[in-house]
Homo-oligomer: A and B are copies of this chain.
Amino acid sequence: MAARAGVSPGAVSFALNNRPGVAPATRRRILDVATDLGWQPSLRARSLSRSTSFTLGLVIARSATSIGADPFFPAFVAGMNTMLAPRERSLLFTVVPDTDAEIATYRRLAAEQRVDGVILTDLLAGDPRPRLVADLGLPAVTLGRPDDAGAHPQVGSVSVDDIGGVREVMSTLIAQGHRRIAHVTGPRRYLHVRHRRDAWASALQEADLPSARCVHTDFSAGQGAGATRRLLSTTRNQPTAIVYTNDVMAIAGLAELQRRGRSVPDDVSITGFDDTDLAHHVQPPLTSVRTDVAGWGERAATALLRAAAGEPPQHIELAPARMVARASVAAPPETSKGSQP
């Protein structure tokens, strides 16, 4: 390649990485010869000499069976890709069964220097990962802010405010007259589960409503249905509305309600989260909360690329999640309304 353009390999390198010290005419010629020959620098050689992988990592701890139900990851990955592809970056994607395996994976990625940085998702309470990646010297960006944010100044974050969506849902339900609004959510260890639960609880409190039941599940349809069953099993003070933390559980809950002869929304109002494709199309259509997942992926990729380039970590807030109102929410039945102050 260098020979064909009549220059040294070094000059080619300068031209390609448009570094100063090469005359405009020479640069043009080098670039032209390159496109003529269909030549392109070897990524492997560049990786070795630049100590860079041109690759970002995303590792998810979920069982192979449960991950399919979550619409988040594919959309997020797609979003990252719109950002990475034009920059000749790629995404290493790994699905492992649990957090231990996830940690082992970060160690391996760091040891092998396979990636220039990683995205940390599904933040936990007291999450060990920000510390770990900082120790490993692996640039990282978290999705949402860790609870000990500030303890790891080298780790950036890109967040979407879920809470806005939950508050919107709650105020809609409360405005309709609901007084007993239950919550079906995921495992306690997840930070976003806690945030949403807190938002739910404080919305009740701010409206001077009594505290209500919250059921923690594993996010699966089965446990969503089970939680619904439990909420209906009490003989008194049954909820008139249920706020589910994802659409899958809400749809399973809807089926459970129907099985027990409760009408949605006449007897019970329900809401989901994620605004999946199906949410529009169940009967009744499901009120849900939508976030721009692909946009989130795009921004996260941008932030991580910057961090990997040595820029100081950023903390970015994206547009908050918004409620999408549909027919699964209505006023509570009269008997319940009557018991209001």
Binding site for B on A (CB under 8 A): 40, 42-45, 47-48, 51, 53, 55, 60, 62-75, 77-79, 81-82, 85, 88, 90-96, 105, 108, 111-114, 220-222, 224-225, 248, 251-252, 254-256, 258-259, 276-278, 280-283, 293-294
Contacts and interface: CB of A to CB of B under 8 A. Distances in A.
A40 B110 CA distance: 11
Secondary structure dominating the interface of A: helix
Contacts of A248: 277-278
B64 A75 contact: yes
Given A48-B44, A69-B71, A277 B221 contact: yes
B64 A68 contact: no
Given A40-B111, A44-B113, A92-B93, 11 more contacts: A44-B48, A47-B48, A63-B78, A68-B293, A69-B278, A81-B95, A91-B92, A91-B94, A222-B277, A222-B280, A251-B278
Contacts of A224: 281
27 contacts: A43-B114, A44-B48, A47-B48, A55-B92, A60-B74, A64-B75, A65-B294, A67-B74, A68-B71, A68-B72, A68-B277, A69-B71, A69-B276, A78-B95, A81-B96, A88-B112, A91-B93, A92-B92, A93-B93, A221-B278, A221-B280, A222-B280, A248-B277, A251-B251, A255-B282, A255-B283, A258-B283
Nearest to A57: B90
Nearest to A101: B85
Nearest to A247: B278
A45 B113 CA distance: 11
- Count the copies: 2
A130 to B, nearest CB: 22
A77 B48 contact: no
A255 B251 CA distance: 11
A221 B69 contact: no
Contacts of A222: 277, 280-281
Contacts of A283: 254-256, 258-259
A282 B78 contact: no
A77 B93 contact: yes
A72 B221 CA distance: 17
Contacts of A220: 277
Given A48-B48, A113-B43, A114-B43, A252 B225 contact: no
A81 B69 contact: no
B64 A53 contact: no
Contacts of A51: 44
Interface centre among A42, A93, A114, by most chain B C-beta atoms within 10 angstroms, is A93
Interface centre among A55, A82, A90, A294, by most chain B C-beta atoms within 10 angstroms, is A90
Nearest to A55: B92
Nearest to A259: B283
A61 to B, nearest CB: 11
The 7 closest A-B pairs by CB, nearest first: A68-B71, A64-B78, A93-B93, A255-B283, A252-B281, A78-B95, A67-B74
Given A44-B44, A45-B48, A255-B282, A90 B65 contact: no
Nearest to A65: B75
